[in-house]
Amino acid sequence: MGNSQRTNNMKFEFTKRILPCLTIVLVAAFASNIFAQAVVYKAGTIHTMAGEPLTPGQILVEDGKIKAIGKSVKSGNAKTVDLGDDAVIMPGLIDAYSQAAFYNGGSADEITNEVTPNFKAVHSIDWSSRTLRRVLENGTTTVNACPGTQNVVAGISAIVKTDGSQESVMNDDAVMLASLCNDPASRNRSRSRPDSIYVRQPTNRMGVVWILRNTFQKTTKAGDDSELTNLKQVLDGKRKLMMVSRMSYDLNTIGSLTDEFDFSPIIVGGHEAYKIKSILAERKFPVILQSNPAGTTTGREGSELCWNNAGVLHQAGITVALSGSNLLAEAQFAHRHGLDRDVALAAVTSTPAKMLGIEQQVGTLEANKDADLIVLNGDPLEFTTSIRWVMVNGKTIGQKKDK
Amino acid sequence: MQIANVRSYLLFLIIPFVVALVGGTPVDADDSAVLLKGATIHAMDGKDPFVGSILIEDGKIKAIGKSIKAPKSARTINLKGYHVTPGLIDSRSRLWLTQTSVSDKGTKADVDIELGIDPWLKDWQEVASQGITSVYVQPASGGLLGGYGSVLNVGPFGSPADIVFKSKTGLQCSIGLTGNAQSRFAQVKSFEKLLEAAKKELDKEKDADKPPTPRKKGETKKGDDKDESEDKEDKDKDKPEDDKDTKKDDKDAKTDDEKEDDKKKTKDPVKIALKKLLKKEISIQIEVHHADAFQRVLKLIDKYKFRATFDGLTKAGSAADEIKSSNRPLVLGPFLETGTIPAYRKDAQLDWIAEEVNQDGRLWALSGFPTSGIESRMLRSQAALAIRHGVSHGSTLAALTINPARMLGVADSLGSLEKDKVANIAVFAGDPLNPSTPVRMVMCHGKITHEAEHKAGEFVSSDTQQTTDELPKVLPGKYALKSERIMRPDGSLAPGYLVVDKMKVRITTRKPKNTPVYRMADQVITPGLVSVWATLGQQGNLWDQTESDSSHLQPIDAIDPTTKIANKMLEAGVIHIGVAPAATTTSSGALGQLRLGTADYIVNPAVAGQFVLQSSARNVNRYPSSLSSQVSMINALLNGETAESEFYLTSTVANAIAREKQANLEQLKNGKRKTIFVASTDVEARSAVQLAAKHKLKGVLAGVGDWMDHIDSLKENDFGAIVVNLNVTVFDERLEQYVALDRAGIPLALASESAKQLRMSASLMVNAGVDPQRALVAITSGGAAVVGMDDVSLKNGNRADFVIWDGNPLNLSSKPLHVVVDGKLTANK
Amino acid sequence: MLQRLRFSCCFVLIATFACATVMAQKPLAIQNATIITGTGETIENGTVLFRDGKIQAVGKKVKVPVAARIIDATDHYVIPGMVEAHSSSGMSQANETNQIVPYVTVIDGIDPMNSYFRQARRNGITTVRISPGNSTMIGGQAAVIKTGGEFIDEMVVDGVAGIKISLRPVSGSRMAHLARLRKTLKDAKEKLEEKEEKEKKAEDKEKKDDDKKSAAKQDDDKKDEKKTEDKNKVSSPAALSELDKAMNALLSGKNSAIIYCEKAMDVGQALRLIKEFDLKASLVLGRDCHKAAKEIAASKLPVILDPTLVYWEEDPRTREEKKIVLPKIYRDAGVDFVFQTNRPGSSTIGSNYMWYQAATGVKYGMTEEEALAAVTSLPAKFLNVDKFVGTIEKGKDADVVILSGKPLDLNTWVETTIVGGEIVYEKEKDEQLKRLLTGEEKDSE
């Protein structure tokens, strides 16, 4: 379908709207000066996630970007805001596998076919969805909006900012999603009439693996302009692949699949990854751990949970990221159960950014990166700490009047 | 900029009338008095309306009169040109009741309605915004003896004690709501048996407790009667009979064991209730609709002497003279049926009511008998319909204010604007009983429960007084109608001549030469009403689900315009109808234009195309099953890639259909036809606007969604908007959205299945703040223009399709006198 | 049934007596700990000494007998055992199918081996009031019990700890539910008044004969006369049904009411019931009741919050979402409240841990002292067992928790839980927790 409808659409919008107002360019220049008023924020601690935290630290934000950050910053004509020395600034949280961006948290799947590599989740994103606003209030500034797990090859995710403004699409043609778990097979037996021409094939786990292997075989043989170009990019290593998988035997199967076809997926879910941590470490598959109900010992698909899954995987040398609607709580409980402090903080900021390949723009607080940050009134890894306000692209959201 | 529906809360002092709370609510120190100045006041205290002022302090009316002095600290509100009435009272409401307690029927008189009240429900906002300050709520009708009802306030009071104004006001009873004549007879019989049992027990008690000194009949009797006289007019005929029966002579002293069985008093709630009734401590509300049941209950009242109010009586026309002679208080209605009509009220006869209630001093109240809390907001629409049935303006206003207050025994503090009464006040920007008149302010217990900036308008009542010529049965080929109010294309009503010549119209201000002129005085002449989306009750034919791309379909082929529903719509003034395909397939075909009342009814089979982005068009068993696939399918269609049909058709037929589809889509792209996008959620509306912008379509947005934050993008891509099924239970927030669309200059059209609903939606929108002229345009020529129908306004050269009304169609009390199609009178009633 | 009631209502008198003689316990002492007594005083490297299940002494310098077992708690914290004021877990089935069963008691339904008690001990809860569930109109009697011990009789502190009333209708409308509840209470009240009237009449007859007969020894045998009079009153001729007895206890104030209000409208009705039948009552509030915070504050009744403290509420009209924080709303309204915990697995964040609920309180505006009190001394006061538990003071039960760090800190774990002077939980010996934190299978690897 050629380049994505989104960017072409953006160009169309751009010419239609901006060109006619070139005549008042002077006013625009003047306006942009006021609009992007530079501000210096002073705080007791700044976790830059790129080296040691600054205690205290200052950060200059202008035009939605971080202009400078350090112990002290040349403020020029910028306004300075002192947040107090109990305030802590850290990068905006990043959820590398999220469904929060779809219509009130539903999933976006085209389930009329089991393999839909060209399905784009970006069209189903509901910019004012309630779940998007909830994760924003919990500190998440960037999400990788992934299609659901009802298809074996689900489609292509979109990386967006959570401030709900339409211009905040970072990459609408990001990661390919596949699932190697029971979900694609789970509902097919009961859903449609057996004689319907639309019966879906995978009715059990073996079926899922067969379809996956079959699709990969077809992709290796496929020409350039066929349906499977997106999947071909995965095998050529030009596009990242995320595979949803939870049980230890599923993770084993992924191991063997990567031997047959050369691709190296990012594991999502990984509820029983701690059981086969050596295999994953050897193949250097990064793992995104999903949140589990508190205080329980069994997770989805009957998986046996280990509360310190993140800590165990980290010790085994596997890069670990966390996912969930309240990322800060996930990091807090991971640290309480055994993951070291800075690894826990990285698991919700810089690590997912590296995984998604957007570490140039977000994930850490460094000069000319996006001004995505959250301000807390204490140590982020304490249950008694609350988020004061969140900033995405330089715009503060939920800022309370007091300081 | 008009601020729509700003709800500001003044500090206020709650004086609990019912139960004096220990410690009471603290008196607010800086409670400021409020002075309403310069309004036309309908005080409902028997005197005529006058222009004056009202001073309100501590939740009470401190002073009222032509000119009164007020403390400097008082907040003065200038209400010149506005109309002020006592807060309206809905005497049969379901407000404050939770979902389950709304339909709860008691059967053993043991249900106390106050147990089902949820003071945190938010429905009161819609009801308060229409001027209603108090409601009477009782268990649902259906049980022979349901239980006790209470009078409640309408406002943000938050605690049960402050909501209840008067508890245990009356006993609910209903007879004949189910079954046939036999079951009605049986119900009256069992009611009589219960009364008899209660009376026997009462007599036994009266004989048992002989007081030592015969009590002087005078003073205690008067005590009993005090609130009763309050209810009934003094010159009430049967009052003397009541006194006869209490002069019983008393028997000997009571022995010890007689005192004993006294103590073992009956626990049966029905007996307790009926004994209170027979001792005239409470009154009973009997809902009865059939004449035979009414007559039998009347005999019971004469025999047992209890105070009763009759409700409903929608089919008691034949007992009109008994009703007259009984002179019992009545609660009548509904005059406007908003929901599904229950069996016992089917084809109600309401014409006897006007003559009965127009006698001055006749005690009756008006209610819409709503089935949900929020429907009480339609009280003024019910009043408008009562006026349409001939009830006088004064009697109707009394039926919403002083009469219900008297019947509920709260007339000492509610129902009229007099000194020291509770400050329940409603301020209207025009005629209070015209539902489209915006409400400027409403006060309950001195606390402002609704306030909105609305200019005082010319919504004056529309009864035409002047004489008009009689139109001949068959109108000549060429004639002219002279009227003060002919609707111009911009919605304004101005005097002039409407000349009809060879089925075309022309408007001039000079008298046309050698053409017969009929003088219509100030009757309103407008183009025929337009419903851009109607199915004339034939949804079945339009419901086609097989193919997700059915751009070739034209539903107008499947419509029969001569059905009963179509004729009723024509009689009610609707001439132009848009026949749209059902929203079950993503590209669902063409919207056709239909004209009622003439043989060649098809004006244009394909006026606009329709794309559906709603979940109703997503089908798990066929592509597309998600929104993004719908978007990509529409993109593909508009880029010329039509998917081959899923049917096993011969290639010639398949190609013909494909060409047809392509042709229709082409018309959309070159802008000859409008494109209707059916979308409700925010993301669907956004996709619709993007699709229209991308393919340069002339877009129209239809659907129920909240498009508040799309208004600028809709304006930018000059979209039209179709207002879909605005009904009684819609929240004010959604109405504000249409006001915002209208203010942004986005043309509106209305879609509804009946003329009544069309005019009701328009009046709701005007009441919320839409400009009346633009609303009139929206239900006539403007609506047609939105979806691309040809011009139906009264402009030179257009077809002679118009309607003659006895008042502004936005006011529900006006009715169509003549419907003219192609210059000829259509056979109306 | 009669035996059960008499046993539980006079248990309080003999409880201490039984502990002292039966179990000849070795004294136990905790040394060099930072002790937060719960009375507002914090003792740096203090010592607390337990003897025979009671706190013998607590302070900076405490003489420890040589035979005592010593626990060294250097740079550990010691806090009073936590108290959960309302929980329906720990029983096989929390609700009866019959709607009105005031005579039933939870003591017969509690399973000491239930996983709830193991989790409670692991998270530092030493005392809990187990009460019937929320879907029975009058659910039965609650009981305050300790979370240590194998047999229920050992665990019970107060068998008469309130009758559970739920205003949430199981089926049908709220009006019918409330009408039936009011009718039950009114009938019980009338029967009680009738009984009292008959007794007064019987008493007057008796008093008249007594004056004639008894001349000299009035006051010394007054007390046992009262005792005998009690005995024969209980076995008065019209044997009261169990139902009437339970209701009489409620209406006469001997037993309090635990009223569950699901919606804000229930609060108004609950306050009306309490006023009309002048009940001693405490309120268990569902989420929606935050709208009635003003009335609740005015009523000054003990309040137990919904386990989900923070949630999002959608306004049906504007479809906007608002974040509702219950501790903040009630604290601003001036209500004294305590926390409940969720069942494990009911939410992804830790609302099933009592310390997490206290931490959430601090997160949204409570001070650390207020939050700690809300899980120790305040619930003890609400359950009026503050004479036994809730703070570390001389003479109280020996219920304490040794923490690895400052209370409410993220990395603080419960090291040891002591109930009645016995060690009932040690983190060292918690195999399940070890497996969950290391992922190694004990046997297979």
**Inter-chain contact A130–C312, Cβ cutoff 8 Å?**
yes
**Inter-chain contact C348–A307, Cβ cutoff 8 Å?**
no
Chain A contact for B624 (CB, 8 A cutoff): yes
- Asked whether the predicted pLDDT for residue A256 surpasses 70, the reply is yes
Q: Tokens for C312?
A: 């999002």
Average pLDDT over residues C188-195: 88
pLDDT band of residue B22 (cuts 50, 70, 90) is: very low
The SS3 assignment for C268 reads helix
Q: Tokens for B41?
A: 């006041």
Chain mean pLDDT for chain A:
84
**The predicted structure's pLDDT at residue B649:** 77
**The predicted structure's pLDDT at residue A397:** 82
Chain A contact for B625 (CB, 8 A cutoff): yes
- Asked whether the predicted pLDDT for residue A28 surpasses 90, the reply is no
Amino acid (one-letter) located at C33 = A
Contacts of C216 (CB under 8 A, 6+ apart): none
pLDDT band of residue A301 (cuts 50, 70, 90) is: confident
pLDDT band of residue B282 (cuts 50, 70, 90) is: confident
pLDDT tens track for B562-586: 888 888 899 999 999 998 888 888 8
- Asked whether the predicted pLDDT for residue B453 surpasses 70, the reply is yes
pLDDT band of residue A196 (cuts 50, 70, 90) is: low
Interface test with C, best of B21, B113, B118 (most C CBs within 10 A): B118
Interface of C with B in 233-252 (CB under 8 A): none
**The predicted structure's pLDDT at residue C12:** 54
* Phi, psi for A397 (deg, rounded to 5): -125, 130
Lowest mean pLDDT among B91-95, B180-184, C134-138: B180-184
Closest approach of chain A CAs to the CA of B695, in angstroms?
Answer: 11
Q: How far apart are CA C279 and CA B492, in angstroms?
A: 68
Average pLDDT over residues B452-472: 70
Closest approach of chain B CAs to the CA of A112, in angstroms?
Answer: 6
pLDDT tens track for B248-266: 333 344 444 444 444 455 6
**The predicted structure's pLDDT at residue A275:** 93
Cα dist. C144→C1, C84, C87, C283 in Å?
A: 19, 9, 10, 16
Of B773, B490, B485, B469, residue with least CA distance to B498: B485
Closest-CA residue in chain B for C194?
B263
- Asked whether the predicted pLDDT for residue B463 surpasses 80, the reply is no
In chain C the first and final C-alpha atoms are separated, in Å, by 53
A-chain residues near C360 (CB < 8 A)? 383
Q: How far apart are CA C118 and CA B159, in angstroms?
A: 43
**The predicted structure's pLDDT at residue C87:** 93
Chain A contact for B708 (CB, 8 A cutoff): no
- Asked whether the predicted pLDDT for residue B594 surpasses 50, the reply is yes
Q: Are C295 and B710 in contact (CB under 8 A)?
A: no
Nearest to A123 among B620, B628, B682 (CB): B628
Closest approach of chain A CAs to the CA of B619, in angstroms?
Answer: 9
Average pLDDT over residues C188-196: 88
- Asked whether the predicted pLDDT for residue A192 surpasses 80, the reply is no
**The predicted structure's pLDDT at residue A243:** 95
A-chain residues near C349 (CB < 8 A)? 294, 326, 329, 333
**The predicted structure's pLDDT at residue C434:** 92
pLDDT band of residue B459 (cuts 50, 70, 90) is: low
- Asked whether the predicted pLDDT for residue C232 surpasses 50, the reply is no
Closest-CA residue in chain C for B123?
C317
**The predicted structure's pLDDT at residue C179:** 87
Q: Does A14 or C33 have the greater pLDDT score?
A: C33
Name the packing angle between helices B181-208 and B291-304 (round to 10°). 10
Lowest mean pLDDT among A166-170, A246-250, B606-610, B777-781: A166-170
CA dihedral B197, B200, B202, B204 (to 10 degrees): -140
**The predicted structure's pLDDT at residue C210:** 66
Residues B322, B188, B341: CA angle, nearest 5 degrees: 75
Chain A contact for B681 (CB, 8 A cutoff): yes
Q: Highest mean pLDDT: which of A111-125, A221-235, C324-338?
A: C324-338
**Inter-chain contact A329–C349, Cβ cutoff 8 Å?**
yes
**Inter-chain contact A294–C347, Cβ cutoff 8 Å?**
yes
C-chain residues near B116 (CB < 8 A)? 173-175
Q: In what order do the strands lie in the sheet with B748-751?
A: B529-531, B574-579, B587-595, B602-612, B674-678, B699-703, B720-724, B748-751
Q: Does B247 or B811 have the greater pLDDT score?
A: B811
Closest approach of chain C CAs to the CA of A83, in angstroms?
Answer: 18
Query: ipTM for the complex?
Result: 0.80
Nearest to A326 among C349, C352, C437 (CB): C349
Rg of chain C taking only CA atoms, in angstroms: 24
**Inter-chain contact B115–C269, Cβ cutoff 8 Å?**
yes
**The predicted structure's pLDDT at residue A107:** 63
**Inter-chain contact B101–C178, Cβ cutoff 8 Å?**
no
pLDDT band of residue C2 (cuts 50, 70, 90) is: low
pLDDT tens track for C98-117: 889 998 999 988 999 999 99
Chain A contact for B705 (CB, 8 A cutoff): no
Lowest mean pLDDT among B22-26, B359-363, C75-79: B22-26
**The predicted structure's pLDDT at residue B251:** 39
Element (H, E) at B53: strand B50-57
- Asked whether the predicted pLDDT for residue C346 surpasses 90, the reply is no
B-chain residues near C176 (CB < 8 A)? 104, 111
C106: left (phi over 0), alpha (psi -120 to 50) or beta: alpha
pLDDT tens track for B110-125: 778 888 888 888 889 9
Of A46, A135, A154, A43, residue with least CA distance to A94: A135
pLDDT band of residue A330 (cuts 50, 70, 90) is: very high
- Asked whether the predicted pLDDT for residue B137 surpasses 70, the reply is yes
Closest-CA residue in chain C for A329?
C349
Chain mean pLDDT for chain B:
82
Average pLDDT over residues C310-321: 84
Q: Does A267 or B359 have the greater pLDDT score?
A: A267
Closest approach of chain C CAs to the CA of B704, in angstroms?
Answer: 13
Q: Does B246 or B667 have the greater pLDDT score?
A: B667
**The predicted structure's pLDDT at residue B351:** 83
Chain mean pLDDT for chain C:
85
Lowest mean pLDDT among A8-17, B220-229, C376-385: B220-229
Nearest to A336 among C345, C348, C410 (CB): C410
Interface of B with C in 688-747 (CB under 8 A): 706, 731-733
**Inter-chain contact B119–C269, Cβ cutoff 8 Å?**
no
Closest approach of chain C CAs to the CA of B365, in angstroms?
Answer: 28
Give A345-359 as a DSSP string. HHTTTHHHHHHHT-T
Q: How far apart are CA B156 and CA B154, in angstroms?
A: 7
Cα dist. A330→A90, A94, A107, A290 in Å?
A: 16, 12, 22, 9
How many residue contacts between B and C have a Cβ separation below 8 Å? 67
pLDDT band of residue C235 (cuts 50, 70, 90) is: very low
Q: Tokens for B654?
A: 């398949």
Give percent of chain C with pLDDT exceeding 90. 55
Give chains near C: 3+ CB pairs under 8 A: A, B
Give chains near A: 3+ CB pairs under 8 A: B, C
Closest-CA residue in chain A for C363?
A384
C-chain residues near B160 (CB < 8 A)? 265, 268-269, 272
- Asked whether the predicted pLDDT for residue B235 surpasses 60, the reply is no
Other Cβ atoms within 10 Å of B826 Cβ, number: 18
**Inter-chain contact B98–C174, Cβ cutoff 8 Å?**
yes
Of A284, A300, A302, residue with least CA distance to A292: A300
Chain B contact for C265 (CB, 8 A cutoff): yes
Average pLDDT over residues B802-819: 90
pLDDT tens track for B26-57: 333 345 788 999 999 999 988 888 999 999 99
Q: How far apart are CA C393 and CA C391, in angstroms?
A: 6
Nearest to B115 among C178, C315, C317 (CB): C178
**Inter-chain contact B100–C172, Cβ cutoff 8 Å?**
yes
Cα dist. C137→B102, C100, C131, C168 in Å?
A: 22, 6, 13, 8
